[in-house]
Amino acid sequence: MYANFRVTRDTASDFIRLFVNRRAFGMQAHKPLPNGKVPYFLAKDWTTKQPKPLDNDVVRMHLNGDVTINLYAINPETQRCKWVAIDGDFDGAVEALFKLQWELKQDGVEAAIEQSRRGGHLWIFAETPLLAAECRIYIYNLALRLGVPIVGGGLKQGIEVFPKQDTVEDGEYGNALRAPLGVHRKTNRRYWFYEASTEPEPQLAYLNGLKKLTEAELHTFIKGMTLPENYKPPVHEPYVPRPARDGQQEFRILDYVRPRTKDRRNWWAPCPSCRQAGKDKSGDNLAIQIANPRYYKCWAGCSADDIRLALGQPIRKKQMA
């Protein structure tokens, strides 16, 4: 079990200053689902159904251990973030995070490592909110230089960088990350930052004392750099449905699978072919391009033929006239 605290409004304000960059947030369910996951739900106002703004009271409940929240990195009004968090939960992740922390230190950037269930999160705080796209250029290039793998660009194992998007549009949220210093509902544990004693106040004092990354420094670090080629968002061809031929509608994958999640580029759905083989437990092996759902890909390697067969919709071979 975890310790409960009674933090003050000032402690919650400290937390907000460091971590809260937009007011929409998610709440973690109190109990795991049968599959063991403990999902987060976007917090909404009961009456208006609009996202509920995060306030001091909710942050206090999070720090006390009564609820658990997650946070979105990017503010859609500015496309900026107050922090960058690097999530590592693969074999060797903790070593990779310490390596990144050390390398950042060589740039004069003080980053803090928070423990997590299977690895850790490395946090960098900004003096003033920084463009998400520029933060990503910095971290992606740094990680690749050190040989630290990054998820995406064909890799499933590696660090994940939050903000996960360069920009989010109005009404979008991007990806959220569990807010630090609270209780993880899956393990009923708190995960603390190394280097400070394990209560909210000294933890926040430690984070407040770190040197913050300035925009001028960031600009120096990324001069002449772009996001590495493999990780650039693809340029989309616009989707124009083809007219029906021989009374046959064009095959549309979204008529057959129900996506579980969405990011800027893709819907993520269970792969029918993996499912048939008893795989894809997490139900997100199949990426379907949002801009043009004609393009879909199973990250476990099933071919389009496999997927269509599993759906009972085999690809029609071109027939001779």
Q: Name the site residues for Zn ion (rule: CB under 5 A).
A: 271, 273-274, 285, 298, 300, 302
- Minimum CB separation from Zn ion for residue 151, in Å? 18
Using the minimum distance from each CB to Zn ion, give the nearer residue, 18 or 271.
271
Nearer of residues 117 and 260 to Zn ion, judged by Cβ? 260
Residue with Cβ nearer Zn ion (92 or 293): 293
Q: Which is nearer to Zn ion, 140 or 267 (CB)?
A: 267
Extract long-range pairs of 100-106: CB within 8 Å, 24+ residues apart. 100/142, 100/143, 100/146, 100/148, 100/159, 103/142, 103/145, 103/146, 104/142
* Strand partners for 193: 114
**Residue 248 CB, nearest distance to Zn ion (Å)?**
25
Phi and psi at 174, nearest 5°, equal 75, -165
**Residue 146: CB minimum distance to Zn ion, A:** 32
Structure tokens at 24: 């929409």
CB distance 184 to 39 below 8 Å: no
**Least distance (Å) from Zn ion to the CB of residue 263?**
18
Kindly tell me which of 196 and 309 has the beta carbon lying closer to Zn ion.
309
Q: How far apart are CA 201 and CA 193, in angstroms?
A: 12
- Parallel, antiparallel, or unpaired for β 80-88 and 111-115? unpaired
Q: How far is CA 142 from CA 48, 211, 276, 306, 311, in A?
A: 44, 19, 40, 38, 43
Q: Where are the alpha helices (DSSP H) in 20-131?
A: 56-64, 93-106
Nearer to Zn ion, 291 or 309 (CB): 309
- Residue 273 beta carbon to Zn ion: minimum distance, rounded to whole angstroms: 4
- Tell the smallest beta-carbon distance from residue 279 to Zn ion (Å): 7
What is the DSSP secondary structure assignment for residue 231, as one 8-state letter? G
Ramachandran angles phi, psi of 306, nearest 5°: -55, -45
